Amino acid sequence: MVTMPRGRKVEPWRRAGVDLRWRTLDEDETWNRRTRAGRTVTDCSRDLPFDGALTVADSALRRGNVSRRLLADLAEEVPRSGRSAALRVAEHASGKAANPFESVLRAISLEVPGLLFEPQVPIDEGGIRVRPDLVDESRRIVLEADSFEFHGRRSALTRDCERYNALALRGWLVLRFSWEHVMHEPAYVRSCLEQAAMWRPRRRTQTPVRVRRSA
């Protein structure tokens, strides 16, 4: 998707395979790198499905191209037709997300009422120190976006088994999803998360020194 200033003509051959959108752009949005990146995220928030828009926003935050404050301010300026979508993305975007795979998994989880997963939360408990992809602390649920690229060797498989076993033995529910699940079978992922939300109610009291947050 490419946003063009209103009135700008684009030759037909340049449009092939490109989703063009025409909008009013001021000079700052055209030349200022930081504002331009914020405008890109905001336009994607208005025009893309939530998972795609969240992926773009997470990436921009992760690279330091925008701040959450800027995204929130720009979302407030969006016309009524797209403001709610832009505000939703600004609210949930996180620079802690490791990659688009993880961002899409988090987007699916946000469709399930009652779940609140945060990316890359360190867990320091009972002699283990791990940093799962997504953690719902109050329900003690961990989500792992398992990529074959990083889990295809026997040593990686052994290490993962030990980590998942350690979490399970300490009362954490660990759900693992492949790229194919997240990208091509989101209904299956959501069904698993709905069942997890049903069987793992939020804890009213917190276990002391369970999750160690980075500064």
* Residue 71: predicted pLDDT: 94
Does the residue 210 lie in any domain?
A: no
Q: Which stretch of DSSP H or E encloses residue 127?
A: none
Does the residue 215 lie in any domain?
A: no
* Residue 214: predicted pLDDT: 46
Read off the tokens for 76. Answer: 């407030």
8-state DSSP, 32: -
Does the residue 212 lie in any domain?
A: no
Q: What is the pLDDT of residues 24-72, one digit of tens each?
A: 556 554 544 445 788 889 989 988 999 999 999 999 999 999 999 999 9
The pairing of beta strand 173-178 with beta strand 141-146 = parallel
- Same domain? For 106 and 195 the reply is yes
- Same domain? For 91 and 154 the reply is no
- Same domain? For 70 and 129 the reply is no
Does the residue 34 lie in any domain?
A: yes
Q: Which stretch of DSSP H or E encloses residue 14?
A: helix 12-15
Contact assessment for residue 197 and residue 112, using Cβ atoms and an 8 Å cutoff: yes
Does the residue 208 lie in any domain?
A: no
DSSP string across 155-181: HHHHHHHHHHHHHHHTT-EEEEEEHHH
* Residue 62: predicted pLDDT: 96
* Residue 18: predicted pLDDT: 58
Domain that holds residue 13: 2-95
Count: domains in the chain: 2
Return per-residue pLDDT of the chain as tens, 215 residues. 555 555 566 666 566 665 655 555 565 545 444 457 888 899 899 889 999 999 999 999 999 999 999 999 999 998 888 899 999 999 999 999 999 999 999 999 999 999 999 999 999 999 999 999 999 999 999 999 987 665 557 777 788 889 999 999 999 999 999 999 999 999 999 999 999 999 998 886 554 445 544 44
Does the residue 42 lie in any domain?
A: yes
Q: Cα separation of 68 and 175, whole Å?
A: 29
Sorted by sequence, the CB contacts under 8 Å of residue 51 that are 6+ apart come out as 103, 104, 107, 108, 186
